[in-house]
Structure 1
Amino acid sequence: MAELVQQYLDQIRDEHAGVTDGAVASYIPELANVDPMGFGLSLSSSDGFVYESGDAATEFTIQSISKPFTYALALDQAGHDAVDAKIGVEPSGEAFNEISVDDTTKTPKNPMINAGAIAAVSLVPGATPDDRFGCIHEFYSACAGRRLDIDHAVYASEKATGSRNRAIAYMLQSFGVLGDEPDDVLDVYFRQCSIKVTSTDLARMAATLARGGINPATGRRVTDAKVVQRALSVMVTCGMYDAAGDWVSAVGLPAKSGVGGGIIAVLPGQLGIGVYSPLLDAKGNSVRGVRVCRSLSEKLGLHFLTVTRESCSAIRARYDVCDGVRVYELHGDLLFAGAEQVLRTIERDRDDYRIAILEVSRVDDINDAAREMLAGMRTVLNTAGKEGFLVDPDNKVVRPASEQDYDAVLFSTLDDAAEAARRRLDRHG
């Protein structure tokens, strides 16, 4: 069943693969050497299952996507009060690398701009810069579920051209925000931005935030749920720089971009998204990354204010009506994440039945993505020598006008479907 979801993601990525608008980042010389046409998309479900499309294995530097994670680590290690005393949470309305602080507090306006990110680094405990970076490196790796490496060429390039960040750091020191030597803090900051990730790493890191701090692949609790709540809140309002308002209204996912071409997006409780495409717009966000996230949100119903009326499992009941025939009763509102979970459950159980009956009469609302995925269930089961029936009395999944588009066996009642399944098994022994 995973191939149904895979096809959907491939289709969405392909829609934007031909876009060549934007330019690679050049203010860090080493970033100008990347392949501008790289394009990867990864999605991790809340239980750790990952879908990949395109250049999902291509490594690139995390850059500013590091900011919410270091902010979360600072909250976890130093405490909310200590962090709030040094970093605000309001949108800045300025460029990400602006040399400025809040007029009243004389502290950075939020942790998603460079001033706030540098301050967050200084709040991570460590007797030496190496100790501090080791703590950050370990945290990122725990969120990704694997040991992440550093791009030493990018690190050297950033350090050699980081005059503006040095100006920010010394400004912060003058206002009492940094408790350590600015150059020591900056060295850690340059290193954290140079950590290499793939779009799949970003999807897993996003899924860790979606699960409230538990990495769904490893089962390890990386940080506290309250820390994640704060980090996601700031990502909503500040994560996409000057485009944050448009992003929230159109995409509706807590997110963070980076000039390496990455975007991370989180649907709390459900999934994480990682995108890679290094062509950037004037605000420093990936052009194709923004477009593909917009399409994912619109077509899969991922906007975080699209609240389903059944937040628990979409499967109301699962049982056998006879040996070889299993029924899956669905209920509530069914969007992409719910349909994906249903299909993978049916796939995991495949050795336990010969005929699967999907009963959707109690589904209240369903979007087009979930409808198309469920309607394709029988085709996938047939390739494995199984059969799939659909009980859809109100044509919620397969609409009358589109019945010819799907290889679906439809019934109006569960009793009719169960009887047909028994006859099918009797006929074939």
Structure 2
Amino acid sequence: MAPFASKRFGRGAFVVGTALAASMALVGCTAGGGGPSGSGGGGETTIDVMVGAQDLTKEQIAEFEADNPGIKVNLILADPTRLNTMLASGNPPDIATGGAVGSANTNARGLATDLTPYLKDSEVLREDDLQPVNDSFRWDGTQSGKGPIYGIVKDWSQDNTLWYNTALFDKAGVPYLSDTEATSYDDLLKIAKKLTVTKDGTTTVYGLGLEWAWQLYGPMSAMVMQQGGQLYNDDLSEIDFTTDAAQRAFQWYVDFAEAGVGPTSLNPLADGSDFSTFAAERMAITQDGYWFGGNFAADDALKSVRFAPAPVMGDTRVAPTYSGQGWWIPERAAEKDAAWKLMEYYMAGPPAEERAASGWGLPALKSLADKLPQDQPYQKQAYQVAQQELEHAQPLPDSPYISVDLLNSTIDKYLQRAIKGELTVPEACGALTDELNEALAQGVERLG
């Protein structure tokens, strides 16, 4: 697996939500932890850590074990189905990985440990050092963003920003995107058409990639917010894709697919991600977060890249994170204290410094912001754009009654039907609204 794919898996494990949502009826809510706890017994302690293959290296494990005699780390590769089974059986790993956006479902069911007491006692991880993105791991009993914190983000990005290849822009005679002004989605589609190259009926260069396979709820929700609207009602128990703002966002995706300027679920890339196509100079623009720049740090072949602000649909610039991958400790974990030691090492120690310096995402701690790379010209330019975009960061609404993966797959189903002409956009948005509200109602009933 390419380094990019491994890194992105750490950010994009959205499928966890579906497996967890499916187990609502199997896993009962448990009381939240009141403070640091764990086995605390003598002898050797082993902690089971379920994370992505590239998230915790053998070298990092060895360093942690050397610094913490008596604690051993057992690495389990992230597997949504296995995690679901372990949670349902009451024998979860001691650390699991997941998105801050999407954690409301897990937290509402009492599956995660309140980390606030640990933060208060920690000498290296401080609550006042956490970037606001970590607030999406908060849960006050009714909504995310407030109250105790149930996870720590490892790194993050504003995921609707754009990377582009200036060499392909030059070849097509298209002006570069602005470093400071947001391109409208309508103009972005026009630009993508100019950049797309076809030969003998085959697309040789895509004008724009949207990472369609990873997220649809995130960008569509941001599009609606940019128009001054919201997909959800106030208590996040109902969703509405029939509003003018939502239908405009949905229509844009249909127009994108019909224009043939980029991959879709009906015309997917073989590896399911934009990087290899972009690196091969067969894609001019990709909608990816700051983290995407980490791909180029060790690649001398492709330095004709630039970073651009998130495009806008409407009058309000909104640049959210779609996930904000991090770690959390299950409420029924056997070795919470030892797990927290590893959290401290990984989130505030050498691994955190290395991640920040690599450019694989923005650091989740304020104190690490100055570690971001600026040696290469493209890194300096991307850093400046990323700092400006922080002004437009807003959290996405996160309903406890449905998983992000179920949102994505259901949206995609109706997009496909609209693209194929089986439904008009109003018909597709109406049917999508009905199906998602049925799932939300089931979620409300299960959570009581």
User: Considering the TM-score relative to the shorter chain, is it more than 0.5?
Assistant: no
> Normalised by the size of structure 1, how large is the TM-score?
0.27
> Quick check: which has more Rg, 1 or 2?
1
> Normalised by the size of structure 2, how large is the TM-score?
0.26
